[in-house]
Amino acid sequence: MSLVQSFPLFSIVLGLLCAVVCFVTPKQWGRRITLALLLASCVMQGWVLRFCYGNQAGYTYQLGHYPAPWGSEITAGLLEPGLGLLCSAVMLLAVIGGGRHIGHDVADGKQHLYWVAVDLTLSALLAMCYTNDIFTAYVFIEICTISACALLAVREGGRSLIASVRYMVFALIGSSLFLIGVVFTYAVTGQLLFPQLREAVAALWAAGTYRFAMTVAIALMTAGLAVKSGCFPFHGWLPDAHSQATTASSCILSGVIVKGYAVLLIKIIYRAIGAEVFMASGAQHVLLLLGIGGMVGCSIDAIFAKRLKVMIAFSSAAQIGYLFMGIGMGTAAGLTAALLQIVNHAITKPMLFLSGSQLADASHGRMDFPSLRGAGHRNVPAGILFTIGAVSMVGVPLLAGFIPKLYFAREAFTLGWQRWPVLLGLAVSTVLNVLYFLYTAVLIWLPQEADCRFKPVTPHWDEFVPGFVLAGLNVAMGIHPGPLVALIEKAVALLGR
Amino acid sequence: MANSDSAFRRWLRGEVDLSAELRTAEMPAPPEGERYEPRHHPALIRMIARQSHRLYVALVAVLCVVLFTVLLLAAANLPAYGDAEAPTNNQVSERYVNQGVEETGALNAVAGMMLDYRAFNTLGESFVLFAALCVVTVLMTRGRRKHPLPSETDYADYYADPIVHTMCKVIIPVILVFGVYVLVNGHLSPGGGFSGGAILSSALIIYAMVWGDERAHGAIRESTVRRTAALALGFYAVSKTCSFYMAANGLTGVASPGVPGRIFSAGLILPLNVAVGLVVCCTMYSFYMFFRRGAL
Amino acid sequence: MGAMFDHLLHNYEEAAAIALLSIGFCMLLFDRNLLKKVIGLDIMNSGVFLLLADRGYIAGGKAPVMTEAAAEATRYVNPIPAGLVLVGIVVSVSMSALMLALTVRVYQTYRTLDVDHLYMLMSHRRKGGRA
């Protein structure tokens, strides 16, 4: 067994260890340790991805001396290291770009705890990506929830406390539903590891025994993860949580954490339950309709948002809708589009949050639209970044946002009755996106009023360089999506095997 | 007793609002900048709240009834209670029970399962506690603005009471010994890191309650608690990762099951139990101190 | 339907667990007092743990601790649910501590525990301010 194959385990444990070290060392070390960890994690995930891509196969890594049904294991195909790389890279750029805001928003005595929370979040996300055991997944979901709450509540002032309460109430309902689902699954199959679970579920489904309990278990696990990732009717917590946090936390919460739960859902559907059984249970139609509801409903909410960050947060909820619509299509091509949407959203949304809060900084920290008028002139790099992000969100060709929409639309024509709701949802959502994103993008470039009391600012390199890296990725994905699409198609093929 | 009984009855009937109970205790007024100033008329806010609450209650009631019915039906569909032929009693649990002693060296099959067969879960579990400790620290530590803390006189002074004081002097060592016993016998008898750690922390909490938390703060230093928890977590993560790495590469570990039934047996289970126990003890004690005095 | 009811009577422990769970769930959703929401959460988790622990029971089984006293037992109960419940309890303790800390902070800052009131504050305070 080569050293590369141990990297998933090492990166998870390294995240936990760094969290512990940050907990006992002074705060100036926390930042350095976390940056080093995120960089190391990027390298390790990239290496694992290269290894798996070279072999064109995934592998299973046994944790401990006991083989599969008795011990735990983690698994790496192409999906897992790819998403691990995406999470690590986005978190790295987010903490660099939001570094100044962390210094401003987080009290001195708590800064080391902020870095602890970032490390734990990374570790939990990686574990959720790589795990092959449903109960390990539950434990790391909880670590992710708790550290996300720390990322949110660490901010001084504002309404982050109320947002945390709201987030926690939804998150707790979500984890409880998921846990009940796990209990029912265990009760009827007696297995906890994904491959054995899948065999047991398939056997049960074929025999027709305990079918109702199994359906309820599937529904509960899906509902729990949907609540946690802010799927449409349960998205009440999402706009507050994402807009009240400090900038780096907003990027992490919106860019990667909600995706972590969605990826886990995908893994559970395809690896633990089995796509055939999941599709037979009919849960995918519910996901599809909820996704379309989110695409339209949250976009309407975004139009009525009064503040920039709230608008971006509602747009996140709408983008999560696209993702669930892709899962709900139930086909490999639909899943490919959903994963493209994950990548697109993970690189575009942090860019919008970073540049949006810099535009607000150029307006004395005010987030309301009248104050933001002409903000692009006061901070030109942030204005350019925001414009690229907004145009990408609308779905203009040659930018990343266009690619998943194209694949969703292409896949829609192969579907049956789902074709019309999907196409209608895509069309309405795109029009609504034009309304709010283009409006904002135009607003920040309007000429400033003569009596404008805000002064232009000169941004520091660490504020716009991460944004430009994300913008570069965005344009690259938009112009030349071929390699990424090929990678994701292979990952999907490996996932179902 | 009659008084407390009737208060309990009233609470059962839903007449006591806990928030009202809390309000009677004088809380320090928040500083000017943090206080909430209503922008709209309070009556208007209340009216909107009432209307939206009604809609919410109706929707949630439907949801609860549906969920309750579905879960009951699903429970009826589960294998019968206590059935030896249920799918859960398969070769997985059989091996834990039948070969557990031989393979892990632990007489307690639950400890063997948690700390050897499925040790990765337990690693995550101790980090759940650690993450909760971090959030509680974040929330309860006063940041830039200092809130005055409630003074000592708000609480009963147990130290002045000769009965409580004397009894605690006797009982704390007993609790500590019992806690250590449960902790180190985790692989031989029911118990282990989680229960042992909780018992140990109860001794510390009683000490802080009776002798006053200032004195406890002096005796058990903040840095000691934090470093102990960090060291124990670090030890767990590192030792288990080494063991996983060696197992994946086909190496046999240095820790052997030993002679089942001895204290020093069962390989890594005993040190891991002690590490988990220390984490639990430090976390529970920290929770108490944070809620009590706003600092460790 | 009758068969299903019989089965439910046989699975009375599970039915009790589901009842407990539903009580907690209703409390978590209906009660406006944040403190009671936390209590509801704990009740709900107790229901889940009871359900999970029941799944490990085997009629006539002994606790799976292989001491000499228990060595002659023919059958031990399933240790897996016990371990999972232990994990669940620790998670539940952590979540309760977190929620109680949030409750304390919310009360110190806003002087209310009424969740609806808090959500109203969320949308009515300092519009246009720095978020």
Residues 243-272 of B with CB under 8 A from A: 243-245, 247-250, 253
Residues of chain A whose beta carbon is less than 8 angstroms from a beta carbon of chain C are: 135, 139, 142, 146, 149, 153, 158-159, 161-166, 168-169, 172-173, 175-176, 179-180, 183, 186-187, 192, 240, 243-244, 306-307, 309-310, 360, 365-368, 370-371
Touching check for C39 and chain A: CB below 8 Å? no
Q: Which residue do the tokens 């707790």 mark? A: A172
What is the pLDDT at residue B27? Answer: 47
Angstrom distance (rounded) from CA C65 to CA A34: 43
What tens-digit pLDDT sequence spans chain A (497 residues)? 788 899 999 999 999 999 999 999 887 889 999 999 999 999 999 999 999 999 888 899 988 888 878 888 899 989 999 999 999 999 999 999 988 888 888 888 888 999 999 999 999 999 999 999 999 999 999 999 999 999 999 887 768 888 899 899 999 999 999 999 999 999 999 899 999 999 999 999 999 888 899 999 999 999 999 999 988 888 888 888 888 899 999 999 998 999 999 999 999 999 999 889 999 888 899 999 999 999 999 999 899 888 899 999 999 999 999 999 999 998 999 999 999 999 999 999 999 999 999 999 888 888 888 888 888 888 899 999 999 999 999 988 899 999 999 999 999 999 888 899 999 999 999 999 998 888 898 888 888 777 777 888 887 888 889 999 999 999 999 999 999 999 999 999 988 76
Which among B76, B135, B194 has CB closest to C8?
B76
DSSP code at position B144: S
CB–CB contact B130 A190 (8 Å): no
B254 band by pLDDT with thresholds 50, 70 and 90: low
* Three-state DSSP class for residue C102: helix
- Are C83 and B17 a contacting pair at CB < 8 A? no
Q: Rounded mean pLDDT of B176-203? A: 91
3-state secondary structure A240-273: HHHHHCCHHHHHHHHHHHHHHHHHHHHHHHHHHH
Q: Distances from the Cα of C98 to the Cαs of A386, B53, B161, B284, C27, in angstroms?
A: 36, 26, 33, 12, 18
Alpha-carbon Rg for chain B in angstroms: 25
Which residues of B are less than 8 Å from A183 in CB distance?
A: none
Q: Flag the least confident range among A264-268, B76-80, B269-273.
A: B76-80
Per-residue pLDDT, A426? 94
Q: Which residue has the tokens 């030109």?
A: A380
Mean pLDDT of chain B: 80
pLDDT of residue C68: 67
**Orientation angle between helical segments B119-140 and A7-24, nearest 10 degrees:** 30
The residue type at B173 = P
Q: What is the mean pLDDT of residues B129-151?
A: 74
Q: What is the pLDDT of residue A252?
A: 94
Q: Which position has the higher pLDDT, B214 or A386?
A: A386
Q: What is the reported pLDDT for A450?
A: 72
Q: Helix C79-110 vs helix A160-189: angle between axes, to the nearest 10 degrees?
A: 170
pLDDT of residue A368: 86
Closest CA to A126 of A37, A9, A213, A228: A9
Q: How far is CA A374 from the centre of its chain?
A: 31
Q: Do A184 and B78 touch (CB under 8 A)?
A: yes
CA distances from A241 to A53, A191, B131, B224 (A): 37, 36, 19, 35
3-class secondary-structure state, position A60: strand
Cβ atoms A285, A211 nearer than 8 A? no
Which residues, in sequence order, are CB contacts of C58 under 8 Å at separation 6+?
B82, B83, B84, B89, C75, C76, C77, C78
Residue B26 has pLDDT above 50, yes or no: no
Q: In the structure encoding, which two tokens stand for residue C122, read together?
A: 């969320």
Range list of H helices, A131-230: 134-153, 160-189, 194-207, 211-228
Per-residue pLDDT at C119: 76
When pLDDT is cut at 50, 70 and 90, the band that residue B113 belongs to is confident
Q: For a pLDDT cut of 90, what percent of chain B falls above it?
A: 29
Closest CB to C108: pick one of B27, B63, B125.
Answer: B27
- Tell which residue, C9, C42, C32, has the closest CA to residue C117: C32
pLDDT of residue A382: 92
CA-to-CA distance for B16 and A91, rounded, in angstroms? 47
Residues in chain A, how many? 497
Strand partners, A59: A76
* Residues 157-216, chain A, touching B (beta carbon < 8 A): 157, 180, 184, 186-191, 200, 204, 210-213, 216
Q: What pLDDT does residue B15 have?
A: 61
Question: CB within 8 A of B135, min separation 6: which ones?
Answer: A117, A146, A147, A149, A150, A153, C98, C101
Residue B90 has pLDDT above 50, yes or no: yes
Verify whether the Cβ–Cβ distance C65 to B107 is below 8 Å: yes
DSSP B203: H
Instruction: State the angle between helix axes of A461-479 and A332-361 in degrees (0 to 180), rounded to the nearest 10.
Output: 150
- The band of B125, judged by pLDDT with boundaries at 50, 70 and 90, is very high
- Max mean pLDDT among B33-47, B86-100, C65-79 falls in B86-100
Quick one: which H or E segment has residue A61? strand A59-63
Tokens linked to B175: 């609790």
With an 8 Å Cβ cutoff, are A139 and C87 in contact?
A: yes
In A, which residues are within 8 Å of B233 by CB distance? 16, 20
Whether C131 sits inside 8 A of A186 (CB atoms) is no
Cα B64 to Cα B50: distance, rounded to the nearest angstrom:
20
CB pairs under 8 A between A and C: 98
CA distance B237 to A63: 13
**Contact assessment for residue A231 and residue A338, using Cβ atoms and an 8 Å cutoff:** no
pLDDT band (50, 70, 90) for residue C112: confident
What is this structure's pTM? 0.91
Is A13 near chain B, with CB under 8 Å? yes
What value, to the nearest 5°, has the Cα angle with vertex A429 and ends A423 and A435?
140
pLDDT tens column, C28-87 = 888 888 999 999 999 999 999 999 998 888 888 888 887 766 566 667 888 899 999 999
Query: What is the least distance, in Å, from the CA of B96 to any CA of chain A?
Result: 8
Q: Please name which of C60, C61, C59, C64 lies closest in space to residue C82, comparing C-alpha atoms.
A: C64
The span from the CA of C107 to the CA of C124, in Å, is 18
What does the alpha-carbon distance between residue A165 and residue C102 come to, in Å, rounded to a whole number? 7
Indicate whether B12 pLDDT > 90: no
